[in-house]
Each structure stands twice: as structure tokens, then as C-alpha cells.
Amino acid sequence: MPISEATPARAREIIARLRAEYPDAHCALHHTNALELLVATILSAQCTDERVNQITPHLFRKYPTAADYAAARPEELEQEIHSAGFFRNKAKAIRGMARELVTRHDGAVPASLEALVALPGVGRKTANVVLATHFGVPAIPVDTHVTRLANRLGLTETTDPDQIERDLQRLLPREDWSFASHALIWHGRRVCQARKPACARCCLRDLCPSAASAGAATPPR
């Protein structure tokens, strides 16, 4: 389905069904404050949320403030996060981000997209996770699940995260933005998986061009 045929009404129906299916959809990264969420999201790049959640309880106890991360010895922090993969780059990003928080924001995580993406190691997706999950600011974090499902559902025709974000913002009301991202991620993990989507038990199959092309578009139960 061309993106020109994707309508707000159809997008809202998709989100309504996902809301019925996953009423409690939320960020899977464990955290108690904005700094913890920011660190966890940096760690989650090319790593599972489950693995990050195994690492962070001890990490958060050892480094409770931005100043603690900023002062951390690189090799020590690298060891703490080693199992998250890409540990050197992630440790460098966390230390750089923390130094900027201390220097420019009195150690507090800012609540604006512009200020967040100005931090070392913080891209738009990471910033949107923090905005949507901690600060309650309408935002659409675009990860691999959102990218895959938005394309399969005919809501976008690109794999560029920034353009996908704009496409979804155009189709959905602001109050649905944050939930939409969480719900698409949950659905992508549970049903619409990358290698073998379970179209036969998908609540969206009659709305999905990909399911239709595979011959699975029957009315949902």
C-alpha cells in the first residue's frame, strides 16, 4: 500500500486494536528516574532489554548520579557494562553524556528534545524514549520493531527513522504517539517478528498489506 493511501483513520484503527491487545504497553527498560532511563537506553543499542535489565541494578547502585558516571574510570565502567556489547563506545558515550549533564544542566536530565540530542551519545531515538517514558512528552521513538511494522502495515515507505517518525506523527494524534511506539514494539516482539510473522493470530491482519499479500488477511477473532 503506497504511503499516500495510508490514512489517519486507518492508522487510528491500528492503534485502537493494539491498545485493546496491549493495554499496558510500556518501556521494558527498568529504571526509577530520568538518568537511569537515559543510561539504560544508551546501553540498549544492539542489545536486548533483558540483558540491559540484568546489568543496570548494580550499575545504578554504583553510579547514582551524573557526577558519578562523569568521574568513573573508563576501564571500570567498561567492565560493568561489558555484556551489553560495544562496551567501549557505550562507556565513552555515557561518560561524555554525564559530563555534559554536570557542566550544562547541574547534573539533571533536560526535558527537551533539543537539549537531549545535544548530549554526547544521545540520538533522536534515545531522546524520544526519555521524553515519552519519563517526562510524558508526546514522542515516537523509532527502533527496529517500529521500522519493520510501520513498513509492513503500509504506514511508511522508508527505513529512515526520522522520516518514519514524521510519517507516524502525520497519521496519529499527539496523544497516541508514545503509546503507538510502545505497542508496535510489543507487537513486533510477540507477533510480527522479523523472520516469521504470525499473521494468522495477528489482530491487525485484515488491515495489513503484508498479511494480505501472504494470503493471511482474514477478519480478526
- Tell me the catalytic residues: 125, 143
Q: In 3D, which of 120, 182, 104, 113 has the Cα closest to residue 149? A: 182
- Other Cβ atoms less than 10 A from the Cβ of 99: the count is 17
Written as nine digits, the cell of 175 is 496523544
> DSSP code of 176?
G
CA distance 41 to 36: 9
For 34, 65, 154, the CA distances from 49, given in Å and listed in that order, are 17, 22, 27
Q: What burial letters (b/e) apply to 118-143, b meaning 16+ CB within 10 Å?
A: ebebbebbbbbbbbbbbeebbbbbbb
Q: What burial letters (b/e) apply to 207-220, b meaning 16+ CB within 10 Å?
A: bbbbbbeeebbeee
